[in-house]
Each structure stands twice: as structure tokens, then as C-alpha cells.
Amino acid sequence: MAAYGSTLLSEIRDVKPLQALRSVRALIANPDNTGEVFKVIEALKGGSIARAVARMEATPEGRELLRSKPDILPVLSDRDALRAMPEGSVGRAYLKFVESQSLSADGLVAASEEAPRREGNSPDERWLGCRLRDIHDLQHVVCGTAGELCLLHSGAFIIFGESPPGDNTVGSGRLHTLGQLCRCHSW
């Protein structure tokens, strides 16, 4: 019980609700300010990445992903390969989304640099944090949301491990687990 209380206190100390509120206000003022999304996530994630890694370690597929640490950035950046995918595939839908919004996977990496990073994460936690960042625009496609605030709501289950209360998009069977979204390589 003492270890749980210590962990809980550590996670509470890591949560920064005022920073999150400032970033949400900035997002309301400018819904396309992706850098603020990363500030909200960083401010509220507490120990959620460590818990997500633990969930991944509990499955053979998750352990394999953590072992191999595949980099999805080159896949998401290869527009010719995405264009060659079948119409109706996730890859083509992703390409349509990023082209219609004038976005790039590398631009997302740059936007994420606006958020301060926590030190002391394990290599697995760093990889998963980068993976979640890299699939941010893919989450827009899979969750069916264009705005950043909508994605924070629909995508919250990915970080926190469960669907947000009252969520009809994620809970409808379109996407069920972190592992499904992390495995989106062969679309």
C-alpha cells in the first residue's frame, strides 16, 4: 500500500493542470496549433506512458514492438508509397488528410518540440512517446476527427488506457487498443 501511495503522489506531482488549461485555452483560440496539443499531453500524462509500456509488456505483440522499436516516421513520410496503396486504405486516407491540411510527419516532430520533455524515461517509454507523437495525424484519420481538441478527447484512451466517458467514436469498435494503432504499418 505504501508503494502505491508513493507512486500515486509521484504521478500527481507530474500532472500540471494549469499548464494544460493554458494550452487548452490557446487551442480554443487557435484550433490548429498542434504544439499546444503536445503541451496538454505532457502536462496531463503523469505516469501514463509507463503504464502503457507495462500493458505492452503484458502481450507478445507489445513485447515484440518494444524489442524491435520500429520507426513509423519513414513510412508516414513516403508519400509515393502511401499514394500507391489501395483506395480506401488507412494509408491513402492518411495521405489525403495530411495533403488536405498541408501537414507532414516531420512538421509534427517539430511541433512536439514546443512541449517541455520529462527526463528519466526508460528507452521503451521514450520510444512509445515518440511513436504516439509520430502517429498523431494518423489518429485524426482513424478517430475521424479534424480538430485538435476533438482528437485530445477521442484519443485520450490511447494515453490513459480507456475510452473517455461518453465517447461514441472510439468505443464503437473503430479502434480498440494502443497495440492496434501502434501496429499500423501494413495498411
pLDDT tens digit sequence for 90-134: 899 999 999 998 889 888 888 878 776 667 789 999 999 889 888
Q: pTM above the 0.85 mark?
A: no
Instruction: State residue 147 phi and psi, 5-degree precision.
Output: -80, 150
Please state whether 184 falls in left (phi above 0), alpha (psi between -120 and 50) or beta: beta
DSSP 83-102: HTSPTTSHHHHHHHHHHHTT
Task: Tell me the three cell numbers of residue 102.
Answer: 498541408
pLDDT for the residue numbered 66: 95
Find out whether 48 and 160 touch, Cβ atoms under 8 Å: yes
Q: Does 74 score more than 90 pLDDT?
A: yes
3-state SS of the chain: helix, strand, coil percent to 5?
65, 0, 35
DSSP state of 115: S
Handedness of CA 107, 184, 63, 58 (dihedral sign): positive
For the chain, which residues make up each domain, given as ranges? Answer: 2-182
